[in-house]
Chain A
């Protein structure tokens, strides 16, 4: 095998592990060494627990030796965004509020990865409480993009994308509320999948906007993403919005679903504000599918222009409610400067939360407040219905939609100081969350200055198998997956 084991996909490493050419301890040691070598520059990790990871790896090797290997994730180091609970490990949401919090229980996805034999590795940086598009809102400092560490990795799951691109994990999990998996995947040149709302349990995920949040994988290849999705998907009684549906073998389905597909190109996603190099790269992807025999059809999602506003009303409203629990009483930061019990709430929250979280709590509280609820929150929920209807109408004619993931490549850390300018990073990803659809970002090129570009495929609800097969067809015909940043 290549000396750069840490850049190989799960599929290759699983074969090497099966054939006893490699042990999980060796692989985990390689990933740990790589992390120590590069994370001083990338800063993808909030923390990691080397001895815990090696203990898990040794247990995996023992299972394999006893003939009890649990499948393709057995012994594979997988990093988790620091909003996903792992028993006995820190869970900070990259916030001072939870700087010293240690999780007393596992998220459902954590349990499922453990059952699949994965080695859980590290706590990955993100925007505070997953609020942001650049990972600059972390209380612990920004993460660098491995392709150019003076630039952002995207966000909010920037640590998950950067760690994978830099070879500091073999796969990672993130969460996506308005693009927080797909946009950083695009900016870091890896695959990122946001599943259909309800496919993956949110139990043990720190809540940002509960009607939009969904956990999903980052992976080097579409096939790897299919493997991780298969491990984490499924109904869970502990998340009442999780959906009872049969989980197909996504990996096996890659080979059987061949199309030809009908692909829709939403005209609203190729307008003003789209970087010309990204437009060209995505147009080349459209041409590829056309040459494969796919029917390409221009479609319209007429309410696209309202997605951003709808999102910022609904997401902040839900956030202001979800973050009310951080009051300094039962857990989290408690102020030492409070005059009385009520002041304890206000002071603890003032000291514990960073500026973007405060801004969103204020906006969310406002849109829910007496006299404004109907004008903002209720109206946004109705516009949300129209946005969802746009997508469902388009899906009467086409199997999936193809768009850019992000309107711009990775920008410089500190470049976008205005909140509104940052919110525009998500214009192509937000509609998918509002409509509850699955979306995947696949690498589709590099800019002249060497920064990754991603194309987004959007699928019908619970049709991840089709979406993955479509993405796989593109990926296998191109070499982008074999390009890595030079660190």
Chain B
């Protein structure tokens, strides 16, 4: 029998900064409940003494000299900004 905890869809949507409609919440909670039930299988694996794998590349630390490299111009960096003025991104007011 599954011991999968109930996914608190309101809390997770808030953490993910994702505004979901009531319909989406109900649907995702049910669908992800099924997926989580499936994922419960992982609790059967004996992982004692096993190191986690973050990625499979035999590269572990990469150093680079701290030298400035050519980058994007301000125009190129801002070409996709939804709103901009004087080489700055315009955002809603955050301080009264």
Contacts and interface: CB of A to CB of B under 8 A. Distances in A.
| Residue among B16, B20, B31, B83 with the highest chain A CB neighbour number at 10 A | B16
Contacts of B12: 362, 365-366, 369
Given A327-B17, A330-B80, A383-B47, A434 B56 contact: yes
Interface stretch (A142-150, A272-280, A343-351): A343-351
A361 B39 CA distance: 16
A350 B18 contact: yes
A312 interface: yes
Contact of A419 (B9, B35, B51, B53): B35
Contact of B89 (A305, A312, A329): A329
Interface residues of B, number: 51
Contact of B19 (A346, A362, A382): A346
B83 A334 contact: yes
Contacts of A111: none
B1 interface: no
A376 interface: yes
B27 to A, nearest CB: 8
Contact of A350 (B5, B19, B34): B19
Nearest to A432: B56
Interface string A52-95: 00000000000000000000000000000000000000000000
B31 to A, nearest CB: 6
| Residue among A344, A388, A423 with the highest chain B CB neighbour number at 10 A | A344
27 contacts: A198-B56, A211-B54, A211-B56, A212-B55, A241-B57, A243-B59, A328-B82, A329-B91, A331-B80, A340-B92, A349-B16, A350-B20, A358-B18, A362-B32, A365-B12, A365-B15, A366-B7, A378-B52, A382-B52, A383-B50, A385-B50, A388-B53, A418-B31, A420-B31, A436-B55, A436-B57, A461-B56
Given A211-B54, A243-B57, 20 more contacts: A104-B77, A198-B59, A240-B62, A305-B41, A306-B45, A312-B39, A330-B80, A344-B92, A349-B17, A362-B9, A366-B12, A376-B39, A379-B47, A382-B47, A382-B53, A383-B47, A384-B52, A388-B53, A423-B35, A436-B56
